[in-house]
Amino acid sequence: MYRYDDIDREFLADRSAEFRDQVNRRLAGELTEDQFKPLRLMNGLYLQLHAYMLRIAIPYGSMDSRQLRKLAWIARKYDKGYGHFTTRTNLQFHWIKLADTPDILDHLASVDMHAIQTSGNCIRNTTADPYAGATPEEVDDPRVWSEAIRQWSSLHPEFSYLPRKFKIAITAAPKDRTAARVHDIGLAIKRNRKGDLGFEVMVGGGLGATPHVGPTIREFLPAEQLLSYLEAILRVYNRLGRRDNRTKARIKILVASLGAEEFGRQVEAEWAAIGAGSDLPAGEMARIRAAFATKTFETLPERSESFEVAKSADPAFARFVRNNVKAHRAPGYAIVEISLKAIGETPGDASADQMEVIADLGERYGQDDIRVTHEQNIVLPHVKLDDLPAVHAALAKAGLATPNINLISDIIACPGLDYCALANARAIPVAQHIAERFANQDRAELIGELKIKISGCINACGHHHVGHIGILGVDKKGEEFYQLTLGGSGAEDASVGKVLGPALPANRVAEAIDAMVDVYLSQRQTGERFLDTLRRTGPAPFKEAVYADAH
C-alpha cells in the first residue's frame, strides 16, 4: 500500500469540499442537471436506470483491510449491502442517493480513497498486475509507476477534457494479467541489455465497437522518462483526436488513421520538444517507492508439511489449491485468488459480509495487502502455505472458495440491461446459465483455461472481443440475442475474436458453448488450451457444431 502524506490527504479534502458545494447547488436548484452532469461524472457519479451509481477508484487495484472494511460499511449504510467490482478494478455501488454522495466521499477520504476521474473524458484508473510484489516473474513493482501516474494524472489541467476517456495499463511480467495491449496505452516493464529499467510502449489498443490491438511505438523507454513521454502521447492525442464523432474519438482511431509509425514519429517530436522538465525528480520516485509499506517475508522452507497433509486429507482444499493458488517469489508463501464468480451469482459482486471476511483474512494472514483483478476477482498476494488451510476454510464458510480461477465459469460480465441504461441485453443471467451448465468441477478442470467474456452492448465493457469465447448482447426487434466471437485474447498473445455466425437466442447460448467445448475436447492435442486448439484448427469445426441443426 502506498501511504498517503498530508499533501495527498489535503488534496482529497479539497476535492470533496468542492463536490459538496456542487451537490448543494444542484439540490437547491442553482445548477441544472445539464450543468451538473459533467461535474458529477468527474467524481464517478452516474445516473443509471434505477438510481445513481457511484464508482469508487481502487487505484491499480490495490487496497488494505481498513479500506475494504470502509467499502463494506458504505455498502451497508448507503447501498443494499453489496458492491460490484469492475473490469477497471474499481468498485461500483448501484443504489446511491445524490444527497448522500458528499458524505460518502468524505468517508472514503478518511481512508485515503476517492472517486476522482472514474468517469469523464480524462485519464482513468491505471490497471496494474494484481500479483505485483508477489510473483517471481516480476521485473519491477508496477504499483510504484502506477502511483506516479495516479498523482500526475489527478486533476491534470491540460488532460481533463480529452476527446474521450483514456486508460493505461502496466504489466510487469511476461505473463500479462492486465490486458495491456487493449488499453489506450499499454506499458510493459522491461530491462535492456545493460540492465536498465524501462517500458515497452503500446498505444491505441481498445475494445468498444472497433477493437484494436495496440501497436508498439517504442521498444524501450527509460523508466525515469515515463511521465514526459506520457505527456507527449496525451498532447498529440488532445490536439489531433477526433471530437466530431464520439464513436471515433478514442486514441485507437487516431493511431489507426495516422498509422502507428507516423503517430510514433509525432510523439517522439513532441517528446523531444518537452524535454526532461516534465519528469519526476529521482528523489520523488524514490519517495513513492519507499511509501509502499515494505513486506518482510519470514525465511520459510519451500515445503510446508501441514499444507501437504491438508491437501491429501481434503479434496476440496486440494482443488482450490490447484486452481486458485499461484506461485510466490518467497519460499513458503503463495498468492491466493478469491473468485467472485460463485456458480449462479453475479460476476464481480461481493456482499458487505464477504468484504469484511476478505479484509479480516488479508489483515490476519496476508500482510494487510488486498488486490482486485481486471477479471473481477480478489487476490491476497502474500499468504503463508502454512496458513492456506485456515484461509480456505474461512473463505468456504463465506461462499468465497469457488475453485474456478481461469476456468470456464470464471466469466467476465458487464452489469448489462439489469442495471445499465446503454445495454441492449442482459449479461448477468447469461453468465449464470453458463456457470450452472458447467457446475461440475471435474469437467471444468478437465476443460482447463477457457475465458468467456460477456458484454450487454457494443461498448464492450465485458471485454467480449478478447474472450476465448466472447458473447455480445444485441437487440433484434425488441428481443435479446447473443452474438458469439471466437479466438480473442487480452493477454500477452492479444488478439480480437471473430464473429462465429448468426446471433443466438438467450436459451441457446449455454448449449452452443457446450457444443464447442465438446469439439475442443475431442480435437485437442497434449497441452493445448481451448484457444490453442481453436488457433490450430480454425473456427470451422466449432461453427459446424453450433449451427449443425440449422442445416
Partner 1 sequence: MPTLIRCENGAFAAAEDPFTRVADDQELPQGDVIISLQRFLNDGERLIGQHRAVGVVLKSSEEVAALSIDLAKVAVVALDFPAFRDGRAYTQARLLRERYGFEGEVRAVGDVLREQVGFMLRCGFDAFEPADGASCEDLAMAARRQRHVYQRAADGRRPAFAEREA
Residue in 48, 110, 210, 278 binding partner 1, rule: CB under 8 A = 278
**Residue 29 sits in the site that holds partner 1 (CB under 8 A):** no
- Within 10 angstroms of residue 31's Cβ, the number of other Cβ atoms is 17
- The site that binds partner 1 (CB under 8 A) totals a number of residues, namely 35
Query: Quick one: which segment of 9-17, 59-67, 347-355, 523-531 binds partner 1 (CB under 8 A)?
Result: 9-17
**Residue 262 sits in the site that holds partner 1 (CB under 8 A):** no
Shortest spacing between CB 5 and partner 1, in angstroms: 7
Identify which of residues 151 and 346 has a Cβ nearer to partner 1 in the complex: 151
CA distance 204 to 209: 14
Shortest spacing between CB 66 and partner 1, in angstroms: 23
CA distance 248 to 162: 13
Shortest spacing between CB 10 and partner 1, in angstroms: 5
**Residue 11 sits in the site that holds partner 1 (CB under 8 A):** yes
Alpha-carbon dihedral of residues 122, 96, 82, 13, nearest 10 degrees? 60
Residue in the block written with cell 481502487: 58
HEC readout, 252-277: HHHHHHHCHHHHHHHHHHHHHHHHHH
Q: In this structure, what C-alpha cell is assigned to residue 82?
A: 453489496
**Residue 272 sits in the site that holds partner 1 (CB under 8 A):** no
Residue in 195, 277, 478, 527 binding partner 1, rule: CB under 8 A = 277
HEC readout, 82-136: EEEECCCCCEEEEEECHHHHHHHHHHHHHCCCECCCCCCCCECCCEECCCCCCCC
Angle at 279 between CA 276 and CA 281, to 5 degrees: 105
Shortest spacing between CB 238 and partner 1, in angstroms: 5
**Residue 235 sits in the site that holds partner 1 (CB under 8 A):** yes
**Identity of the residue numbered 460:** A
Report the SS3 class of residue 218: strand
**Residue 282 sits in the site that holds partner 1 (CB under 8 A):** no
Shortest spacing between CB 277 and partner 1, in angstroms: 7
**Residue 478 sits in the site that holds partner 1 (CB under 8 A):** no
Question: Which residues, numbered 287-316, are part of the site for partner 1 (CB under 8 A)?
Answer: 287
Residue in 28, 29, 157, 548 binding partner 1, rule: CB under 8 A = 157
User: Are 462 and 414 a contacting pair, CB within 8 Å?
Assistant: yes
Residue in the block written with cell 486440494: 318
Residue in the block written with cell 509509425: 261
Residue in 29, 195, 281, 527 binding partner 1, rule: CB under 8 A = 281
Identify which of residues 270 and 386 has a Cβ nearer to partner 1 in the complex: 270
Q: Please state whether 96 falls in left (phi above 0), alpha (psi between -120 and 50) or beta.
A: beta
CA distance 272 to 453: 41
Cα 291 versus chain centre, distance: 24
Helix (H) or strand (E) holding 16: helix 6-27
Residue in 4, 73, 78, 152 binding partner 1, rule: CB under 8 A = 152
Report the SS3 class of residue 199: strand
Identify which of residues 277 and 527 has a Cβ nearer to partner 1 in the complex: 277
Helix (H) or strand (E) holding 378: strand 378-384
DSSP letters, 502-535, are S-EEHHHHHHHHHHHHHHHHHHPPTT--HHHHHH
Shortest spacing between CB 271 and partner 1, in angstroms: 13
Identify which of residues 235 and 392 has a Cβ nearer to partner 1 in the complex: 235
**Residue 266 sits in the site that holds partner 1 (CB under 8 A):** no
Residue in 202, 254, 267, 280 binding partner 1, rule: CB under 8 A = 280
Query: Quick one: which segment of 55-63, 270-278, 503-511, 542-550 binds partner 1 (CB under 8 A)?
Result: 270-278
User: Are 347 and 431 a contacting pair, CB within 8 Å?
Assistant: yes
- Within 10 angstroms of residue 33's Cβ, the number of other Cβ atoms is 9
Query: Quick one: which segment of 1-9, 327-335, 380-388, 478-486 binds partner 1 (CB under 8 A)?
Result: 1-9
Query: Quick one: which segment of 234-242, 327-335, 410-418, 541-549 binds partner 1 (CB under 8 A)?
Result: 234-242
**Residue 384 sits in the site that holds partner 1 (CB under 8 A):** no
Query: For the window 96-135, what string marks contact with partner 1 as x by the rule CB under 8 A?
Result: -------------------------x--------------
Residue in the block written with cell 507527449: 232
**Residue 156 sits in the site that holds partner 1 (CB under 8 A):** yes
Residue ranges of the alpha helices (H) in 291-368?
305-313, 315-324, 352-365
Shortest spacing between CB 156 and partner 1, in angstroms: 6
Binding site for partner 1 (CB under 8 A): 5, 7-8, 10-11, 14-15, 17-18, 38-39, 121, 151-152, 154-162, 235, 238-239, 243, 273, 277-278, 280-281, 283-284, 287
